[in-house]
Amino acid sequence: MADFTPRLVAVDDAIAGGRVAARILLEALAEDTAGALGVATGSTPLTTWEALAEQSPRPIDRLLVGLDEYADLPRGHPQSFRRVIERQVADRIGVPYERVIVPEGDDSDAGGREFERLVERSGGVAIQVLGIGRNGHVAFNEPGSSLQSRTRTVRLTDETRSDNARDFGSIDDVPQRAFTQGIGTILSARRLLLLAWGESKSTALRSALTGPIGSRVPASAIRLHPRCTVVADRDALEELRHVEPRA
Ligand code: PGA
């Protein structure tokens, strides 16, 4: 199995990391003039969206492709990832809402296939931003997900639902199911950019970058991609102090 070493950029904190990440995104979009901008939700990329709005001289005229979406929420629900992407990304960088797409569907895999066809027809994803879960998940691919998985419906773990309860008030209000790009889907983006801030991510990041590549730590799959950059702050790199950053 190919094992590429992602380029690792160490930064002081999330603010500095957001600036670096925004620069990487703008370079990738300048080089790849047809592809979509793949966006992640969650708290990690917030400083990146702020920096992107500051650094981009003009609105970013690209399709925004989300990684995942809750199932069983009414359309327009404030915590649906489509709405989060509209508020956090599209509003800041001037993308019209009709150019935001997220995985959606039903219990069959047809919705997932349709989402992937739409992304392909639109020119594919130039660069995909990723966060990492404390348990090593990427998007809603929880530990155990196949590295070949495609866009599909998944059941969320209690750990992920409890992490996301902060957005809903109570864990009981967090949906049990979601749609997610699969790991194989994520790997078909032309570049990957994984961001990690804070000590709570240090174990997952160490496992992803130095442990075995496999479905036990879904984020380890980034090492199957030849063009991946990881931007991480000192706290997230705590357990990787012996690894020399490659700038
Ligand atoms: P976070 O979530 O950015 O809110 O830490 C990341 C993730 O769970 O993928």
- Cβ of 136 closer than 6 Å to ligand 1, yes or no, is no
Phi, psi values for residue 153, rounded to 5°:
-90, 135
* Coil/strand/helix, residue 32: coil
Which residue is closest in CA terms to ligand 1's atom 8?
A: 133
Q: Is the pLDDT of residue 246 over 60?
A: no
Question: Residue 150: how many CB atoms within 10 A of its CB?
Answer: 19
The tokens for 195 are 């961001």
pLDDT of residue 110: 87
pLDDT of residue 163: 87
CA angle, 57 then 59 then 92, to 5°: 100
pTM score:
0.95
- Cβ of 133 closer than 6 Å to ligand 1, yes or no, is yes
* Coil/strand/helix, residue 182: coil
Residue pair 113/151 in contact by the 8 Å Cβ criterion? yes
Distance, in Å, from the CA atom of 12 to the CA atom of 201, rounded to the nearest integer, reads: 15
Distance, in Å, from the CA atom of 22 to the CA atom of 183, rounded to the nearest integer, reads: 23
The tokens for 226 are 């030849």
Distance, in Å, from the CA atom of 89 to the CA atom of 92, rounded to the nearest integer, reads: 5
Largest CA distance in the chain: 47
Nearest in space to 235 (alpha carbons), one of 44, 74, 97, 42: 44
pLDDT of residue 2: 73
pLDDT 10s digits, 95-154: 999 999 999 877 678 889 999 999 999 999 999 999 999 999 999 999 999 999 999 999
Phi, psi values for residue 157, rounded to 5°:
-75, 160
Distance, in Å, from the CA atom of 93 to the CA atom of 26, rounded to the nearest integer, reads: 12
b/e sequence 165-181, b meaning 16+ C-beta within 10 Å: eeebeeeeebbeebbbb
Query: 182 C-alpha vs ligand 1 centroid, how far in Å?
Result: 16
- Cβ of 43 closer than 6 Å to ligand 1, yes or no, is yes
With pLDDT > 90 as the criterion, what percentage of the chain qualifies? 89
CA angle, 170 then 173 then 175, to 5°: 130
Query: 201 C-alpha vs ligand 1 centroid, how far in Å?
Result: 9
The tokens for 211 are 């442990």
Query: 57 C-alpha vs ligand 1 centroid, how far in Å?
Result: 28
Q: Binning pLDDT at 50, 70 and 90, where does residue 245 land? A: low
- Cβ of 131 closer than 6 Å to ligand 1, yes or no, is yes
pLDDT 10s digits, 43-102: 999 999 999 999 998 999 999 999 999 999 998 999 999 999 999 999 999 999 999 999
